[in-house]
Amino acid sequence: MRADQQALILILAVCGFGSTFAGRITEPLVGVMARDLGTAPETIALLSTAYALPYAFIQPVLGPVGDALGKARIMKICLAVLSVTLLASAFTPSSPVLFTLRILSGAAAGGIVPLALAMIGDRVGMEGRQVAISRFLIAVILGQLAGSSAAGLIASEISWRGVFILAALIAVAGAAAALVRLKPAPGAARVFSLSVALERYRDLLLNPRARALFALVFVEATAIFGVFPYVAVLLESRGEGGPREAGLALGGFALGGLAYTALVGVMLRRLGVPKILIGGGVASAGALSALTLGGDWIFDAVALGLLGLGFYMLHNSFQTQVTEVAPTARASAVALHAFSFFVGQALGVVLVGQGFGLVGVAPTLLACAAVILSVGLAAAAVLGPATKR
């Protein structure tokens, strides 16, 4: 990559880290927050949904707005709003107020990672884009790792409210980096047209490849991320530990993602995209099946590590391809992709919770495993021929 491309990815990485750190901090703290706020753990677990749904539903707005008014400009505004809402969350007096602030945080975060991916698509050629996106994903994954693991580890020292203050400070750092160093692309448009935005969406939805990518990422998110808010509760119910152990176990997912970023170049050269997609489905299915065994949080951490590797084998391939389905409307394409992903994640939290209550933990996790295996096989069949290297 050229020096200017490397600098761009570094700036976007700081922003992406702050966004994903904020998105993961509640998962290992469900039990602690529930007790402190006098709310049922099942209700506090839905803070993930409160973040994911607005993140998803803001995408159809922010995508065309970013295409029209400039991706860099919209990202800076979103970072500022995220900083304010995270700081306010640290001082919330009740769970309803926290849910409201979490909704606003999710909406603001919706304009960070998707627009960053679109900017990479604008400025990095397709031949190097999957590797470039994987480098950006290092920061996104580290944000997930720090958000899920650090939150559980340090909550006992600074309280869950202190964790939110820390998240706000990180978001401020991202906003400052973007404000000082992130410049708009030459010739960026400065007029928004609703008719143009709707026409772009119509074209995207008429594109068979785009529709396949939107559907695949929706099902992927439902099967994998629906499980995450229940990891802490699951570990507690098995006697495997509290927030600390839950944070470390969830950190395994991020470590698996980091392993993917280290291996992606070799995978592309030796396997090609179709086999990466199949491998991602197999690894993810195996990991979800392993979580049914339980017994030790370390074992669960290893299983989540395998899940992280499998997820990013699938997801990074989807992200790379969606940046190319509509070169003149990349933010809109990535926005619909993110919309599909986060709606799937929000639905997954509800479905997995219902499944645990109705049929039990093991049958629900095995059903998720079967679904994600099907995603990998279907993706290789539908997307593979045009992307084989």
C-alpha to C-alpha distance for 338 and 218, rounded to whole angstroms: 9
Q: Per-residue b/e over 129-159, b at no fewer than 16 CB within 10 Å?
A: bbbbbbbbbbbbbbbbbbbbbbbbbbbeeeb
Residue type at 381? A
Ranges under pLDDT 70 in the chain: 1, 185-190, 384-389
Cα atoms found within 13 Å of the Cα of residue 4, Cβ hemisphere only:
7
Query: What pLDDT was estimated at residue 108?
Result: 94
pLDDT of residue 185: 65
Give the model's pLDDT for residue 287.
93
Q: What pLDDT score was predicted for residue 81? A: 96
Q: What pLDDT is attached to residue 2?
A: 72
Residue 389: predicted pLDDT: 36
